[in-house]
Structures are given as C-alpha cells and as structure tokens.
C-alpha cells in the first residue's frame, strides 16, 4: 500500500470504523474520527473544545465551522504527519472543501478516498444487530433509516467530489471483515 493520507467514506454501518482500525494497524498511521476529535477537544479544554461541549450539552449538532476547526487542530498534531485514516469526517461537501484547503495548505493532500459500498438493507440489518448486541435502545429501524436518508442527502455527494478530484476508489463493503480489508488494501495500492 502506498497511500497514507486516506479517507474512508460510507454509510453508517458500512464498516468504516472496523476497516480504519485495520488500516491504522497495518500502516502505523493514526485513526482520526469525528467523534474522537470532538471528545478530545472537550477533554483538552481548548477554546474550540469549550464551544463543542456547550453545543453537545444542548443536544445540538456541531456546526461545520467547529468540526473543521477541530479537524484542523487534530491533523496538525505531530502523530498525523506520517499519515492518517479519516473516518466520519468530512460529512458534507463544504466540510470536504475545507479539509481540502487545510491539507493543501500543509502540502499534504488526501491521497485516496475509499468509498465502502453497501446495500441499504444490509446496513439496516447490520445496525439493528449491533444495536441488539450492544443494548442501543435508540438505534431503531426508524432512526437507522433516518440516518441513511441524511447520509444520502449530505454525505453521499462526497463520492462525486472525490471522483472529480481523481482519488476515489469504490470498494464492495459486503463480505467478511478480511475480504473487505483485502479489497480496501487493493484500492490503496
């Protein structure tokens, strides 16, 4: 594998987190996820972290400006210099454009966007099973389907964005974790 600055894209339940962990282990890079970044900013007590905490305490969505700033801060850390696997960020085209600007300014553009393609019914089944196994009572079929609608409206357009940038590889996300991992690794070669 030659790519070391990677974005994993896909619907909720497509396997981004699972594949990100495998890639990070194989590449020796860092896993950068939106949730982790926001929690770390709050824990660090940074100015941005204080803004994030206030927004989260109100139960509101964190704005693009805040998410982009948290990502910028995280990606500027020394451990990200040797590479990273992004998972859950960017989620919208404006976030992707901001990420592109941040990385281009640092002369470290994304090298590959791997889109994990999984049929919606498979995603729903996976997430319902995970909800049952982990006791997530708020992950009902209705909420999962709503998350899928949001994904199609806001995040799915990133496929076209990264295709236009010439770095998109679409990978079948159905199958064993190992089979998907092999396809992902092939897409990064």
Active site residues: 16, 91, 130, 136, 147
Q: Tell me the chain's radius of gyration from C-alpha atoms.
A: 16
CA angle 182, 186, 189 (to 5 degrees): 140
CA 85 remoteness from chain centre = 8
Residues making up the chain, counted from first to last? 189
| Number of Cβ atoms within 10 Å of the Cβ of 184 | 25
State the Cα–Cα distance between residues 1 and 26, nearest whole angstrom: 9
């Amino acid at each position: 594998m030659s790519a070391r600055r990677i974005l994993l894209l896909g619907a909720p339940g497509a396997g981004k987190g699972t594949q990100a962990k495998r890639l990070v282990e194989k590449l020796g890079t860092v896993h950068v996820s939106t949730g982790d970044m926001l929690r770390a900013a709050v824990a660090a007590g940074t100015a941005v972290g204080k803004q994030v905490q206030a927004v989260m305490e109100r139960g509101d969505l964190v704005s693009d400006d805040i998410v982009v700033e948290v990502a910028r801060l995280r990606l500027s850390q020394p451990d990200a210099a040797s590479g990273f696997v992004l998972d859950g960020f960017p989620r919208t085209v404006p976030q992707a454009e901001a990420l592109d600007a941040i990385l281009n300014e640092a002369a470290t553009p994304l090298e590959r966007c791997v889109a994990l393609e999984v049929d919606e019914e498979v995603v729903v089944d996976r997430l319902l099973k995970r909800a049952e196994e982990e006791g997530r009572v708020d992950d009902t079929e209705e909420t999962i389907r709503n998350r899928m609608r949001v994904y199609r409206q806001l995040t799915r357009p990133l496929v076209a964005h990264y295709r236009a940038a010439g770095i998109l590889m679409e990978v079948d996300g159905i199958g064993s974790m190992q089979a998907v991992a092999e396809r992902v690794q092939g897409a990064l070669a």
